Chains A and B, each alone.
Chain A
């Protein structure tokens, strides 16, 4: 029987966690997310450490019925990074999802394949969006700007920007979670 995307994700996550447990530094996509959001250097590491401490302290609040652990960890880290960006009002100039640079090879073939497939799906999903909508979504994901600020930056009505972001995110959901997409 063909495995579903969800099954693949769970399998890749299990392999990932096992490798994290053995100290494989490459197996930390969360660090990549922090770098993507706040830029390279010590701040990304600091925010990643903060996120782990929050995960550790708030472990009792985690509800496995609502999300997988990695999703939960991503949510916590992303929120911390966005808060930091907003506090410091430091908006990266190039808040875009990388187009041509795929995930680096990893030691685990299944994980690498899953990451590569996700990258391809992601590119297709983003490519299907109008340029302005794609820019709005990228800013919402990576810049820490509020939607009002994004609207001002793109010189578009707030309602239009909200609609772009909604459609873009729903498109990502379909592309990345629906095995038939």
Chain B
């Protein structure tokens, strides 16, 4: 490669260009794949060098403080809530380009997939969403799920099944393989006095409902929430459905839903 282009690439990676030069170089990058590859390689080399630096233990509480900052720095229209302990990983990976991992990869019929359920106050409508193979283990699948859930939150038009138009709309993204997922709830409203909203994953054939947890009691009930449920080996993915019910707040351990369905599938 021309030494001048190499030098510009090095200066770009090392932040040695003036703003105007930087803008010009970035335009050049768009039109020159070989130059883009060089910049990619240089940035990767620097990142690997960072990984080789002597590790310094961050001060106690750093993760909490970063999560706190993220909590007040959400972009407009972004999630109302994100599971706190994953906030930093989300910042690095979950919120960003893993859309590139799941978008358009693999045939829907044969490859790995997760479930998407469009929820409205009367029903839950399922669709399969193909995902990439490269997600070994629950942590990596979590990354994919969170990416999907946030992408659908930010870009509702890309959802495979439309949310209901009535108040209380939402959706769930669920991986039957690792039994974890996210539920997004919009404008569900505060739970009635003495009630809490609970999420259920239902096997529509056996009627067995697995409790996935209660939505936070405070606030308007809206947001995006992570959940996981106990395995149900007999349940087939296409038989699953999702429901949010209003249960007595005093109830400690619920074996089955008893309250009114406020979102998603009618259980019985």
Contacts and interface: CB of A to CB of B under 8 A. Distances in A.
Interface size class of A (residues with CB under 8 A): 35 or more
A85 to B, nearest CB: 10
B111 to A, nearest CB: 19
B92 A73 contact: yes
B35 to A, nearest CB: 12
Interface in B77-126: 85-86, 88-93, 95-101
Contacts of A30: 50
A45 B65 CA distance: 10
Q: Interface on chain A toward B: helix, strand, loop, or mixed SS?
A: helix
Interface residues of B, number: 61
Contacts of B252: none
B55 interface: yes
Given A17-B143, A69-B97, A166-B3, A25 B44 contact: no
Contacts of B65: 45, 49
A35 B10 contact: no
B219 interface: no
Contacts of B92: 17, 20, 55, 69-70, 73
Interface stretch (B66-74, B173-181, B205-213): B66-74
A95 to B, nearest CB: 13
Interface stretch (B13-21, B194-202, B228-236, B239-247): B13-21
B73 A56 contact: yes
Contacts of B10: 165-166, 169-170
A147 B85 CA distance: 41
Contacts of B15: 78-79, 82-83
A17 B40 CA distance: 21
Q: Which 3 interchain pairs have the tightest Cβ spacing?
A: A64-B97, A64-B100, A118-B52
16 contacts: A18-B137, A25-B60, A26-B57, A32-B55, A45-B59, A48-B66, A55-B92, A62-B96, A68-B47, A74-B43, A74-B47, A78-B46, A102-B54, A104-B54, A169-B13, A177-B45
